[in-house]
């Protein structure tokens, strides 16, 4: 079956991130890329299962810092930059295919990203966001919820994501997948599946 829908992960695909400024702001040393110590509250928040106040309190308890919620939200968001080449590629594909954003994200990060980077607005309402779908990748529920929300057939979908575990779940339900590591490699892989 032909691909009709191209689905892009957000973090490390369309948008890059670096949490070093966040660590500096809360006065702690950097840790793993996925913030291992805070993984549980981050995933609960991204799944829309705890409030922003509860999330803030849990992070503050883990890292032991004093800061207002408003200041925390600013430094929590001050970590992003555009991957302009991938965004341009997605925009080009949007002329021939339905394009979507499929992301583990939260109610603080995503509105900030959407406002700061209007270059993403061509995705329109084609947004599959974890905190609105009440699950996170690589849980199968978020994939099924996303397919149902937009009435998509998995076999007509191509997912581009930087995490192999997320691609594995996609392929287990019949989607095609590309593991993103660089723009050049991803463009080449897309070109073997789609008409660019």
Q: Give the pLDDT score at 36.
A: 79
List C-alpha distances in Å: 120 to 34, 43, 79, 126, 163: 24, 24, 17, 11, 21
Domain ranges for the chain, please list them: 5-16+81-193, 19-77
Q: Is the pLDDT of residue 191 over 50?
A: yes
Grouping H, G, I as helix, E, B as strand and the rest as coil, residue 35 is coil
Q: What is the pTM assigned to this prediction?
A: 0.95
Confidence band for 54, pLDDT divided at 50, 70 and 90: very high
Higher pLDDT, 5 or 34: 5
**Domain 5-16+81-193 CATH superfamily:** HAD superfamily/HAD-like (3.40.50.1000)
Q: Give the pLDDT score at 190.
A: 97
Summarize the confidence of residues 146-169 as an average pLDDT: 98
- Looking up tokens 């929590």, which residue turns up? 76
Q: Is the pLDDT of residue 60 over 80?
A: yes
Q: What is the DSSP string of 129-148?
A: EHHHHT--TTSHHHHHHHHH
Confidence band for 33, pLDDT divided at 50, 70 and 90: very low
Q: Give the pLDDT score at 29.
A: 67
Summarize pLDDT for 104-113 with one digit per residue, the tens.
Answer: 999 999 999 9
Confidence band for 24, pLDDT divided at 50, 70 and 90: confident
Q: Is the pLDDT of residue 101 over 50?
A: yes
Q: Give the pLDDT score at 31.
A: 56
Q: Is the pLDDT of residue 27 over 90?
A: no
Confidence band for 30, pLDDT divided at 50, 70 and 90: low
Burial track 51-68 (b if 16+ CB lie within 10 A, e otherwise)? eeeebbebbeeebeeebe
Beta bridge partners of 177: 159
DSSP code of 156?
A: G
Give the H or E element holding residue 25. helix 20-26
Torsion angle, alpha carbons of 100, 18, 76, 40, to 10: 80
């Amino acid at each position: 079956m032909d691909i009709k829908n191209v689905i892009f992960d957000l973090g490390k695909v369309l948008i890059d991130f670096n949490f070093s400024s966040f660590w500096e702001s809360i006065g702690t040393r950097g840790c793993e890329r996925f913030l291992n110590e805070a993984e549980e509250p981050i995933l609960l928040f991204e799944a829309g299962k705890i409030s922003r106040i509860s999330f803030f309190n849990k992070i503050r308890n883990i890292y032991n810092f004093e800061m207002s919620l408003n200041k925390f939200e600013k430094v929590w968001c001050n970590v992003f930059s555009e991957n302009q080449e991938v965004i341009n590629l997605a925009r080009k594909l949007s002329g021939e295919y339905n394009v979507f954003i499929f992301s583990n994200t939260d109610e603080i990060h995503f509105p900030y990203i959407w406002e700061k980077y209007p270059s993403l607005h061509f995705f329109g309402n084609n947004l599959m966001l974890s905190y609105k779908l009440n699950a996170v990748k690589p849980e199968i529920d978020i994939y099924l919820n996303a397919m149902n929300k937009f009435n998509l057939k998995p076999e007509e979908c191509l997912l581009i994501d930087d995490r192999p575990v997320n691609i594995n779940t996609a392929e287990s339900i019949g989607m095609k997948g590309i593991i993103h590591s660089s723009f050049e490699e991803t463009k080449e892989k897309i070109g073997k599946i789609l008409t660019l």
